[in-house]
């Protein structure tokens, strides 16, 4: 019973993760982990993902000096779909030792209100002496020291740099060798701030891997050696000039225990080690014996999907013909807690041979390290209703004697043709044959080149027209927007920024679209515009985003729209 509950919890968790990837979320993110230190600044961000919001109700800060907020937006790609996130960032400085807190905040998205819960913090007194007394070090980090064979092991090599220094550049001088593991590289690299023994550190991920042990026993996580430079955060000339002070650090080796999978393995064991969910998909369940239909098996989980064999379908061979499955889709998402959530989709082609009602079952079993046991997935099956088709009918087929007679006639005709006057030259050797052949080919090629030229010329003209009329279009759109009194401030300021994005795309995009502040500024820099003009535009767009979040406006909407239009004119 306990195993069944664990299985249900795992599958429910995976389904929740999958659904939450597309949900609207509003969360509080803190740049520091653990306790804080009096006088040392850090940032908190309110992040809205999956939607546009307004009417922001800011939190109350107790025990901090506060500056901000500033706004930021970025695009994310999740499961092949793009989502934009918006952030309000505050910079906080703890005022005194003791306790401090941030109350909850909320924002309206559509007809509902999303809330980010508050946080409490413990503030420590500054350590006696300089905060620069901490020393940098490198550490290999894994979530535990005992794993099963085939279980994914998230490995991070972290460089810890004491505040107020920053890392500049790095070079791995002695690369690790992973004996006894299959290795998969990670694409998720980040840094975070945290407290260790009262000293503030910045932890940099210098290398990240996923290890898959393929043998049991004692295995070693190898050390890594890295060269890098440190510069003081306020030493701008050191950061861009001298390069700072050079350091070399080496991590320690770690010995871990790899357990073999329990014996005996179930017959339905597919090779998966981790926690997985399975789902059937089909286009239609009512088919005939004339049809070839597809069924898809979607497997999602936190283990190595490459080790999972495609499950076999338990179908009677005299009732169905099943073709070997093929992989039609794969995806994966990485998370900072070390979770690697992967997705694989198998497609089966099936031809029914007999009419009747059938159940398409599949038995799937995997090993769960958390439960320390093999888990059978819930019964997976599709109910099919097969009807008798019309079949293929062949009529008026020639019998064997008729075929022999026709073959004989053809041979006689061929012999007669060969015995004709061979002194006459074939028409293939005459110039008129090649002329007649070349005329339609040349005409077709000429028409194709002309059509292609006209299309490219037309597209070039459209691009020139968009470029020349970009400012005029922006002016007209801003005028229309100012007259839309029924629209809320959130909608109006969002639409105002979109007008600016459309102008930049039409004027400088060359067919590419921009939809956020960062990509707009980058496109303008590539176009060679003055840095001062780009900075003014960026500042105005960020202010508009704050106003869209619900921050109080100093002036009427028309004043902001006129200011944006003047900036666009300087860009034009």
Give the model's pLDDT for residue 410. Answer: 38
| 218 confidence band (pLDDT: 50, 70, 90) | very high
Closest to 204 (Cα-Cα) out of 152, 266, 162, 263: 162
Give the model's pLDDT for residue 423. Answer: 43
Is pLDDT at 143 greater than 60 in this prediction?
yes
396: left (phi over 0), alpha (psi -120 to 50) or beta: left
Give the model's pLDDT for residue 354. Answer: 84
Give the model's pLDDT for residue 32. Answer: 77
Give the model's pLDDT for residue 14. Answer: 43
| 457 confidence band (pLDDT: 50, 70, 90) | low
Give the model's pLDDT for residue 9. Answer: 38
Is pLDDT at 5 greater than 50 in this prediction?
no
- What mean pLDDT do residues 7-28 have? 51
List all residues 6 or more positions away from 265 whose beta carbon is below 8 Å from its beta carbon: 374
- What mean pLDDT do residues 52-76 have? 78
Three-state DSSP at 495 gives helix
With beta carbons less than 8 A apart as the criterion, state whether 126 and 199 touch. no
> What tokens were used for 429?
């050797």
Strand 98-102's sheet: what is its strand order?
Answer: 36-37, 119-124, 98-102, 61-62
With beta carbons less than 8 A apart as the criterion, state whether 160 and 196 touch. yes
Is pLDDT at 461 greater than 70 in this prediction?
no
Q: Which helix (H) or strand (E) holds 359?
A: strand 356-362
**Residue-by-residue DSSP string for 279-304:** EEEES-SEEETT--EEEEEEEEESS-
Give the model's pLDDT for residue 459. Answer: 60
Over the stretch 90-110, which tens digit does the pLDDT of each residue have? 888 888 889 999 999 988 887
| 2 confidence band (pLDDT: 50, 70, 90) | very low
Is pLDDT at 411 greater than 50 in this prediction?
no
Is pLDDT at 395 greater than 70 in this prediction?
no
List all residues 6 or more positions away from 184 whose beta carbon is below 8 Å from its beta carbon: 209, 210, 211, 212
Give the model's pLDDT for residue 81. Answer: 52
Give the model's pLDDT for residue 235. Answer: 67
Polymer length in residues for the chain: 572
Three-state DSSP at 530 gives coil
Q: Which helix (H) or strand (E) holds 87?
A: strand 81-94
Give the model's pLDDT for residue 408. Answer: 42
- What mean pLDDT do residues 157-168 have? 87
- What mean pLDDT do residues 425-436 have? 67
**Range with the lowest mean pLDDT among 3-7, 190-194, 214-218, 386-390?**
3-7
Over the stretch 235-282, which tens digit does the pLDDT of each residue have? 655 544 556 788 888 888 999 999 999 988 888 888 888 888 888 777
> What tokens were used for 36?
């804080």
| 171 confidence band (pLDDT: 50, 70, 90) | confident
**Stated pTM of the model:** 0.51
Give the model's pLDDT for residue 317. Answer: 78
d(CA 260, CA 216): 5
Mean pLDDT of all residues belonging to the chain: 76
**Range with the lowest mean pLDDT among 286-300, 414-428, 477-491, 505-519?**
414-428
Strand 181-185 to 25-30 pairing: unpaired
């Amino acid at each position: 019973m306990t195993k069944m509950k664990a299985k249900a919890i795992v599958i429910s968790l995976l389904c929740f993760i999958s659904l939450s990837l597309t949900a609207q979320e509003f969360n509080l993110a803190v740049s520091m982990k653990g306790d804080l230190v009096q006088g040392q600044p850090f940032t908190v961000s309110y992040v809205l993902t999956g939607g546009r919001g307004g009417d922001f109700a800011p939190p109350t800060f107790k025990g901090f000096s506060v500056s901000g907020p500033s706004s930021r937006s970025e695009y994310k790609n999740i499961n092949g779909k793009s989502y934009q996130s918006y952030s309000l960032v505050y910079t906080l400085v703890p005022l005194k030792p003791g306790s401090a807190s941030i109350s909850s905040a909320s924002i309206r998205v559509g007809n509902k209100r999303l809330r980010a819960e508050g946080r409490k913090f413990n503030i420590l007194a500054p350590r006696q002496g300089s905060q620069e007394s901490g020393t940098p070090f490198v550490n290999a980090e894994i979530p535990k020291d005992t794993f099963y064979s085939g279980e994914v092991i998230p490995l991070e090599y972290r460089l810890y740099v004491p505040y107020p220094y920053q890392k500049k550049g790095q070079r791995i001088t002695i690369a690790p060798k992973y004996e006894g593991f299959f290795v998969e590289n990670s694409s998720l690299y980040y840094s975070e701030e945290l407290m260790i023994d009262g000293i503030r550190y910045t932890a940099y991920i210098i290398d990240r891997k996923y290890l898959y042990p393929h043998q049991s026993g004692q295995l070693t996580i190898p050390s890594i050696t890295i060269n890098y430079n440190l510069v003081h955060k306020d030493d701008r000339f050191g950061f861009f000039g001298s390069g700072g002070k050079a350091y070399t650090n080496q991590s320690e080796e770690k010995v871990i225990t790899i357990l073999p999978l329990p014996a005996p393995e179930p017959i339905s064991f597919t090779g998966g080690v981790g926690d997985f969910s399975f789902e059937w998909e089909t286009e239609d369940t009512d088919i005939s014996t004339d049809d070839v239909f597809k069924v898809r098996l979607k497997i999602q989980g936190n283990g190595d999907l490459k080790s999972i064999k495609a499950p076999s379908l338990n179908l009677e061979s005299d009732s169905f013909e099943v073709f070997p499955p093929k992989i039609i889709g794969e995806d994966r998402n990485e998370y900072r807690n070390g979770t690697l959530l992967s997705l694989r989709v198998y497609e089966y082609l099936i031809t029914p041979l007999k009419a009747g009602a059938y159940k398409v079952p599949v038995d799937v079993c995997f090993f769960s390290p958390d439960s320390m046991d093999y888990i059978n997935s819930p019964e997976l099956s599709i109910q099919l209703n097969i009807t008798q088709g019309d079949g293929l009918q062949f009529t008026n087929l020639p019998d064997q004697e008729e075929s022999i007679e026709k073959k004989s006639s053809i041979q006689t005709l061929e012999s007669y043709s060969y015995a004709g006057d061979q002194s006459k030259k074939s028409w293939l050797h005459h110039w008129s044959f090649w002329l007649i052949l070349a005329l339609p080919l040349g005409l077709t090629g000429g028409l194709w080149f002309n059509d292609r030229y006209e299309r490219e010329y037309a597209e070039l003209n459209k691009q020139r027209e968009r470029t020349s009329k970009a400012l005029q279009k922006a002016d007209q759109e801003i005028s229309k927007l100012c007259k839309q009194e029924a629209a809320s401030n959130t909608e109006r300021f969002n639409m105002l920024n979109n007008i600016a994005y459309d102008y930049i795309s039409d004027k400088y995009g060359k067919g590419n679209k921009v939809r956020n502040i960062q990509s707009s500024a980058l496109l303008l820099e590539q176009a060679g515009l003055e840095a001062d003009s780009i900075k003014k535009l960026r500042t105005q767009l960020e202010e508009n985003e704050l106003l869209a979040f619900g921050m109080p406006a100093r002036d009427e909407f028309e004043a902001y729209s006129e200011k944006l239009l003047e900036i666009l004119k300087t860009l034009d």
